[in-house]
Amino acid sequence: MASLQKKFVFFSLLKLCMILVVSSRGAVYTPPNVERVTDQFSRISVNQGYNVFYGGSNIHLTNNGTSVDLILDKSSGSGLVSKNKFYYGFFNAAMKLPAGFTSGIVIAFYLSNTDLFPHNHDEIDFELLGHEKRRDWILQTNLYGNGSVSTGREEKFYLWFDPTQDFHDYSILWNSHHLVFLVDNIPVREVIHNAAISSVYPAKAMSAYVTMWDGSQWATHGGKYPVNYNYAPFVASLRGIEMEGCIVQTKDSATACSKGSVSSLTDPVDGQEFAKLSQEQTTGLEWARGKHMFYSYCQDNSRYKVLPPECTAK
C-alpha cells in the first residue's frame, strides 16, 4: 500500500510539473491555415544575399553557404547586411534561436537606411528578445519613418511554438499599400499606408540586416537581467533567405531600380495579390493578435497621453 501511495504521489507531482511547464509558456493554440507567401519567392544562399556587417569571427557559414550561424559571446556579437538596398519588397529569414537562459539577448531581422539618412532614417524591425523570467522568447515588431524615433510603435507577442527547436520563417512585406509582418506566413501585424501614418511610413530604400547582440541595458529594464555569459556561446542559425524587391543603385529611391538583372520600374510586390490581405490572411491576423499579442503602443495610454494618429484613424 505504501508503495502504491508513493507512486500516486510521484505521478501527481509529475502531472503538476507538466501543467506548470505548459502554463508558463502560455496556452497552446493551433494556427489557422494560410497561403504560403514564402513559396512565391526564390530562396538564395547567404553569400548571394549578405555581407558581414560586424563580428566576422562569430559568423560561421554552414551547408555550403546556404545557412549561417550567428554567435554572441563575451568578445562580440555578430551581424549581416544585405549586398543591395531595396525600395519595397519581400524579405524572409528562417531562424532557429538559442535555447536555455537567454535574458538580454536580442536577435534582430530588420530593414534600415540609417547609414544614408542618419537624421531621418526609416526602419522596419523584427526583434526577438530573450526573456528574463519565463525563459521564452518574445517577438517585438516596430517601425520608423523619416526619423520618427521619438514615437515607438512597438507591438509584442508570445510565440505559439518553441523557436529554439526548429527553424521558423519571419517575413516582411513592404510596398506602397501596406507593411505586413508575418511569422510562418501568418500575418501578425499590418500597417496600412493611409493619411494618418503617411508622414512616418517607411518610404526610402533600405538594406536588410540580421544581427545578434547584447541588449541587456535596452531589453531588460536598464540591465536588471543582463546576459549571463556562463551560458555562452549563444548561437542563432539562419537559412531560408529571401529578398526580392527593387534594387536601388543611388540614394534616390525614386530612380530606376532593377529586379535581379532585369531592369524594371515596377515593384515586384506591387501587384493586386500583394495590395491587401486575403480572407485567410485576415483570419490569421485576427488569430495572432487575439491569442498572442500582449502589448501594443496603441493601447498604452500611460505612455501616450494623446495616442499617435494612426491608432484612432478609422
Q: What is the pLDDT of residue 266?
A: 57
Q: Which residues are catalytic?
A: 123, 127
SS (H, E, C) the chain: CHHHHHHHHHHHHHHHHHHHHHHHCCCCCCCCCCCCHHHHCCCECHHHHEEEEECHHHEEEEHHHCEEEEEECCCCCEEEEEEEEEEEEEEEEEEECCCCCCCCEEEEEEEECCCCCCCCCCEEEEEEEECCCCCCEEEEEEEECCCCCCCCCCEEEECCCCCCCCCEEEEEEECCCEEEEEECCEEEEEEECCCCCHHHCCCCCEEEEEEEEECHHHHCCCCCCCCCHHHCCEEEEEEEEEEEEEEECCCCCCCCEEECCEEECCCCCCCHHHCCCCHHHHHHHHHHHHHHEEEEHHHCCCCCCCCCHHHHCC
Kindly list the domain boundaries of the chain, sorted by start residue: 35-312
pTM: 0.88
Q: What is the pLDDT of residue 248?
A: 87
For the chain, 314 residues long, give each residue's pLDDT as a single digit of tens: 555 455 444 444 444 444 344 434 556 689 999 999 999 999 999 999 999 999 999 999 999 999 999 999 999 999 999 999 999 999 999 999 999 889 899 999 999 999 999 999 999 999 999 976 656 899 999 999 999 999 999 999 999 999 999 999 999 999 999 999 999 999 999 999 999 999 999 999 999 999 999 988 765 666 577 899 999 999 999 999 999 998 887 766 655 564 443 444 456 787 888 999 999 999 999 999 999 999 999 999 999 999 999 998 76
Q: What is the pLDDT of residue 272?
A: 85
Q: What is the pLDDT of residue 216?
A: 81
Q: What is the pLDDT of residue 110?
A: 98
Domain 35-312 has CATH 2.60.120.200: yes
